Amino acid sequence: MFISNIGKLKGVSMGWFTDIIDYVAENPIKCACMAVATVATGGAALAAAGPIAAAAGGAGLLGATATTGTAIGTLSGAALTNASLAAIGGGALAAGGGGMAAGTAIVGTAGAVTGAAVSGGIAAATKDA
């Protein structure tokens, strides 16, 4: 019902949408594997966002200083993790950035996108059975 009605929108070409529906219908196992890989890598990155951010901050990849003015490279432990997540999130909430929550979301999203890209590439390279 949805697919038959969505094509009736005026001025909207739905060719790409029907192509996706056709691909999923023809390749349900590949699509399910891609979805599982995307969710798994996104979930893993979300769960490990703190250590991932701390590693990036400790390596000096997030800039010289935290929002407080302290050099990120001199921090350790929870302070390093929090400052790194805030830096990834665009800075501390008090400074107008997205804070640690945004940093965590960005790390999780990056993990999901990576999983989708890798699983999509593998699926594209895999011959149909």
The pLDDT profile of the chain, 129 residues, written as one tens digit per residue, is 555 565 566 666 667 778 888 888 888 888 899 999 999 999 999 999 999 999 999 888 888 788 888 888 889 999 999 999 999 999 889 989 999 999 999 999 999 999 999 998 888 888 765
Dihedral Cα 67, 69, 73, 74, nearest 10 deg: -130
Distance CA 115, CA 129 (A): 23
Q: What 3-state DSSP class applies to 112? A: helix
Burial string for 3-14 (b: 16+ CB within 10 Å, else e) reads: eeeeeeeeeeee
Dihedral Cα 103, 109, 115, 120, nearest 10 deg: -150
The pTM score is 0.77
